[in-house]
Amino acid sequence: MIPGKFITLEGVDGAGKSTHLEFVANWLRQQGRKVVVTREPGGTPLGETLRELLLHRDMDADTELLLMFAARQAHLTQLILPALARGTWVVSDRFTDASYAYQCGGRGIAAERIAALEAWVQRGFVPDLTLLFDVPPDVAETRRSAARTADRFEREAGSFFSRVRSVYLERARDEPTRIRVLDARLDIADLQAGIAGLLKGLG
Ligand code: TYD
């Protein structure tokens, strides 16, 4: 059995990545792939319960980071790894790059702490491809304010999201093969053509 591939979508709140999740899944299905679409935090019954707490309950930054990884551990062992082993492709709305961007960039937790949790929970497992939807802070802010009721993250100040974006872009510079930056201001048709090109490259 050829294992499936793991694709993640990332970007600051307001970058519009959710719009592209279904496009990615449908494009892969048209190529005859089996696909599951999932999200973080979430993806399992326990993970979805943790998501509710993470998005709506006040907590300190370390608690937030540990709960993100608790949800991720369940997600990996119960959903992601078994699906990949069956040959199913997994498309996830966010994964560990978001912990670096939000909990390190946004909240100021040392990157080494996140790396230690990543090594423990993932043991070297990383996505095959990460699509980073990038927009300037003012565009993301306008899109966020047009959205439905804001959660705990979406209520953060513009400076928080500038730091989140900087960490995402730094990571893309450090891992240019895995993390591909897409200009999320482009027309949807142009963006989708770019995404399809990257997916073709996965083989
Ligand atoms: P998001 O993916 O933006 O969902 P929606 O489109 O429904 O708002 O919401 C998840 C939030 O969780 C987002 O603000 C980023 C945050 N997050 C972290 O801070 N760290 C993480 O490791 C993950 C996976 C998400």
The rounded percent of the chain whose pLDDT value lies above 90 is 89
Q: Residue 16: which pLDDT band, with cuts at 50, 70 and 90?
A: confident
* Cβ neighbours of residue 29 closer than 8 Å, sequence gap 6 or more: 35
Mutate to test the pocket of ligand 1, among 20, 95, 102, 164 (most ligand atoms within 8 A of CB): 102
Q: Which residue has the tokens 């992601």?
A: 80
Q: What is the pLDDT of residue 148?
A: 73
Of 130, 113, 118, nearest to 182 (Cα)? Answer: 130
Separation of 1 CA from ligand 1 center, angstroms? 33
Confidence band (pLDDT; 50, 70, 90) for 96? very high
CA of 49 to the centre of ligand 1 (A): 14
Residue to mutate (ligand 1; options 94, 113, 148; most atoms within 8 A of CB): 94
| pLDDT > 90? residue 197 | yes
Nearest to 56 by CA among 161, 190, 138, 153: 153
Mean pLDDT of the chain: 96
* CA-wise closest residue to 63 among 53, 74, 48: 53
pLDDT at 144: 84
Ligand 1 centroid to 72 CA: how many Å? 12
- How far, CA to CA in Å, does 84 sit from each of 6, 36, 70, 72, 196? 7, 10, 20, 16, 21
Q: What is the pLDDT of residues 136-186, one digit of tens each?
A: 988 988 888 887 788 999 999 999 999 999 999 999 999 999 999 999 999
Q: With beta carbons less than 8 A apart as the criterion, state whether 133 and 184 touch.
A: yes
- Whether the per-residue pLDDT at 129 is higher than 80: the answer is yes
Identify the DSSP state of 177.
T
User: What is the spatial distance between Cα 8 and Cα 3, in angstroms, rounded to a whole number?
Assistant: 16
DSSP H helices in 86-154:
96-98, 111-122, 137-146
- Average pLDDT of span 20-47: 97
Pocket of ligand 1 (CB under 6 A): 13, 18, 40-41, 68, 93-94, 98-99, 102-103, 153
